[in-house]
Chain A
Amino acid sequence: MASISSRRLAKELTEIKLEGCPVGIKLVKADDLETWWFTIEVMGDSLYQGEAFTLQFRFDSSYPISAPAVQFVVTDGRQAPIHPHVYSNGHICASILGNEWSPVLSVVAVCVTLQSMLGSCKKKERPVDNDRYVRHAPENPKKTRFHYDDDTV
């Protein structure tokens, strides 16, 4: 029997392919049920007009009980958006990817939440501790426990 994880991912993928993603979000690749790539663009007026970012999801067998590992892709000329919650290595400090993850959330829901996180940004800047974090960051952002101390952005 397929695991809960692969059944749930297969179902999400089918829905994405059938119904498409919300505006500004495109599936780039999902060759397996382990790593998916999306591009996201912020629609309408925003500091990121005309920019597109690549978002990587990595799943393990505990999905959706535990959150996917989500980060911006920063290789091959791709850049992480300059945002107070996005580190230059692509790691994202967002509570829904950590303590506030819920299995009710989905890949598309995460994309849309991050899209809207960018959309509401008032000032393009890196997190204050970017350099220090990036120097010692684990490869997998899920190994980092961020403090979610700021709900204004």
Chain B
Amino acid sequence: MSSREPRWYCHECSADMMPIMAPHPICSSCHGDFVEKMENPADDPREFAHPDHGDLDLPPALGALLMAFQGMSERGNSSRSRRRPDNDAGSRITFSILNDDHHRTISIGGPNTLGRSNPEGEGRVPTMSEYLRRDAPTPPTIAGPLMAQYIMALLGHDDPILTRRLSGDFQGAEAGGMGDYVFSQEALDRIITHIMENSNANRPVPASDEVINNLPRDVLLEGSDILEKDCAICKEQFSLQTDDPDELMVVTLPCKHIFHEPCIMPWLKSSGTCPVCRHALVPQPGDPSTSNGNARPGSSSNRHSHSRSRSPGSNSSSQPGLLHAFFGGFGRTNDSSSRHNPDPDPPRSSADRNGRRFPGSWEEGLD
């Protein structure tokens, strides 16, 4: 991931993560929507969780408790392989939680119950959902090192302080939290898909209000030669006979293409380019010709769109369909290569009398 990419923080996981835009950002690991984009380093949401970033002192009791959890969880792991489980029978902490009508007992420490059958039938470790079920007749309990691991996971995933204190890792937040990991193929797929689908790399850049406001506007008048032309967006001929007075106002782009004002405005607000020749009014991604404010329609200066284009036929010699797309569909032909054109009568009603081509780059592939 690029370091310029904004970081996101999930307040539910208390962890950094890559959000899924669906379309509003949600956490990729818990799917919660209490997420925050970390744009301003001076306002880092992680600071709320750990107001004393520079000061690693914990209250003595909490520190000791965390150390105890860590010790138990480590002992739990190792006891499976070599220790006699009975060795763990020492420290044991028991919580009781009153939950509606049920008492729930959580024991931390004590004998390792993991994977051992046990006279009271408590050998099987309940799953989290079993554990959380409210109506269980005999509420399951989690005991032993497993509980310590649960708690370590809950506490540790968000906690650079803990990480630093207990593992000596002073990189803290850089080491990443739970939200930086995925736990299933499906989640990984989702994230990859998300990344692939949300690249901003080649999205058109809208024209700024300033650029839009400075475009020359004309009111259509009797006898104007504009009246012989068509607006390429609505495909209607410019006319004085219109119900909509706004359609008497036309806008001329720097490339000299003319449009009804109500037709071109919404387009420029989504893409600052000429719909006909793709002349860029504002710098567009990957466009080397943007700095040349005078790109002519049909010139080859829009090479970028050729190389980026997935348009078929851009490198092939005989594309009757493509010619249709450019000439048949738009009703014009002034190109000798129209010999490919199977349409016996290509010029249609909305012929463009300026001999312009659309889009500038594609013609390169036609000959």
Interface residues of A (CB under 8 A from B): 1, 4, 7-8, 11-12, 15, 19, 22-23, 43, 62, 64-66, 85, 93-96, 99-100, 102-106, 108-110, 112-120, 129, 132-133, 135-136, 143-153
- Give B residues with C-beta under 8 Å from A: 189-190, 192-193, 196-199, 201-204, 232-236, 243-244, 262-263, 266-267, 270, 275-276, 278, 305-316, 319-322, 324-326, 328-330, 342-343, 348-349, 358-359
* Contact among A102, A117, A129 with B312 in the assembled complex (CB-CB below 8 Å): A117
Majority secondary structure, B binding face: loop
Q: In the complex the two chains form, what is the Cα distance from A109 to B358 in whole Å?
A: 12
Dominant SS at the A interface?
Answer: loop
B311 touches A96 (CB 8 A): yes
Q: Which residues of A contact B342 (CB under 8 A)?
A: 22-23, 43
Provide the residues of chain B in CB contact with A4, threshold 8 Å: 233-234, 262-263
- Some 6 contacts from A to B, beta carbons below 8 A apart, are A99-B203, A100-B308, A100-B359, A103-B232, A129-B196, A143-B197
A73 to B290, CA, bound (A): 39
A114 cross-chain contacts in B, Cβ below 8 A: 312
Q: Is the CB of B312 within 8 A of A119?
A: yes
> When A94-B310, A145-B199 are in contact, do A102 and B322 touch as well, CB less than 8 Å?
no
Contacts A108-B328, A150-B310 known; A113 to B321 CB distance under 8 Å?
yes
CB of B312 within 8 A of CB of A145, answer: no
Residues from chain B with a CB closer than 8 A to the CB of A129 are 196
Whether B329 lies near A116 (C-beta < 8 A) is no
Is there an interface contact between B203 and A151, defined as CB atoms closer than 8 Å?
Answer: no
The 10 closest A-B pairs by CB, nearest first: A116-B321, A117-B312, A109-B329, A112-B324, A148-B310, A109-B325, A95-B310, A112-B321, A103-B233, A112-B325
